[in-house]
Structure 1
Amino acid sequence: MTQELYQKAIKFAGEKHSKQKVPGTNANYLLHISNVAMEVLFGYNFDPSFDIDFAIQTAILHDTIEDTDTSVEEIKQIFGEPIAKAVQALTKNEELPSKEEKMMDSLIRINKLQKEVGIVKIADRITNLQTPPEHWTKNKIIKYCEEAKLISSHLKNKNEYLNKRLQSKIEEYEQMIKTL
């Protein structure tokens, strides 16, 4: 992996997400982005059968369209069409009526692209399966866990290490739900 690609992507994402916080915390959103990139790096460490440059850039940029004023065209101009398509696939289509339909649509689009895009989605959900924000209801927490299971089932065989890690995080989350 070239450090220049990482630095270019993290600078772009840092500027785009500069005012965003990790939900339920006072931490800058770059914490989430760096954790997703770290998960991808660990996945590569255990199975280097994917394009780490492509995966890391996608990981760093994965929320820029969904959470900022960034357009697909802007990412395409700066990072190229494959990265733009990957980030777009990881972005929920807000025109769809339900959260479930948005997730299924995204998973279908992800599975039409390179496996690195699925690897980023798995890494993203691993990172998000932390202690939920205090304002979440038990029902929302349960639905989030069910959504993680859906992601796991639709993106299996992308990376054995990350698939096992996601399954472990789901199991931890289920144990936490039992205590609520």
Structure 2
Amino acid sequence: MYLKQDLYQKTILFAGEKHKKQKLPIYGLPYVVHLSNVAMEVMFAWESCKDFDIEYALQLALLHDTLEDTETSYEELEKTFGIEVSKGVFALTKDKNIAKYEQMQNSIKKILNCPKEVGIVKMFDRITNLQKPPKHWNNKKIISYRQEAQYILESLKFSNKYLAERLSFKIDEYEKYITESFQ
């Protein structure tokens, strides 16, 4: 009866433990706040358009940075959450062994070979990251980040109409940070 809630609790507790030393750069809050924001976006989108697997998407939302930012191994993730979740998280993980400018293209290529929920979570992740940039970012970095968001949108917009519109709105809204940095 309460499988979704139990699955959410299991997943957020795992992610919270794995990310417990990590903080959000701007606000200094525990990193789990970012993960829960991505999960919140999943829940709101699902209310608008129930054309994706909410349970799978929520797990991906909460775990999407686990392989990239923590000591968690693929094997541990697979043992705890199964092969489909592990594959999805792996696709969302940037390969740090390749040049930085190729990492997003490589990740998008992996995402396109996965169920649409993986692309949906990638777009949600970028939506939640299109907030006020860190103070140490220069205008070039802000412009580059916005362009990368546009690339994500163009590559994955087929995944969910509601989400594509939301990401497009956030990209447009992010423009204000570019303008502000010229003043």
CA contact 2:133–2:177 (8 Å) conserved in 1: no
The range that moved more, 132-141 or 121-130, is 132-141
State the secondary structure of the residue aligned to 1:157: helix
- The equivalent of 1:113 in structure 2 is 114
Q: Does 1:138 align with 2:139?
A: yes
Of 1, 20, 23, the match for 2:22? 20
Runs of 4+ in 1 over 2 A off after TM superposition: none
- What is the count of residue pairs matched by the alignment? 179
Aligned to 2:101: 100
What are the Cα deviations for residues 68-111 of structure 1, in whole angstroms up to 9, with x where unaligned? 000111110000000000000000011112x2211000001001
Using CA pairs under 8 Å that are at least 6 residues apart, name the structure with larger relative contact order, 1 or 2.
Answer: 1
Q: TM-score under structure 2 normalisation?
A: 0.96
Amino-acid identity (%):
53
Q: Distance in 2 between matches of 1:110 and 1:10?
A: 22
Quick one: distance in 2 between partners of 1:134 and 1:175?
14
TM-score (norm 1): 0.97
Question: Unaligned stretches of 5+ in structure 1?
Answer: none
Gaps of 5+ in 2: none
Matched position secondary structure for 2:159: coil
Q: Which residue of 2 aligns with 1:150?
A: 151
Deviation for aligned residue 1:42: 1.0
Letter in 2 for 1:60: L
Alignment partner, residue 46 of structure 1: 48
CA RMSD of aligned residues (A): 0.9
Task: State the alpha-carbon separation in 1 of the partners of residues 108 and 44 from structure 2.
Answer: 22
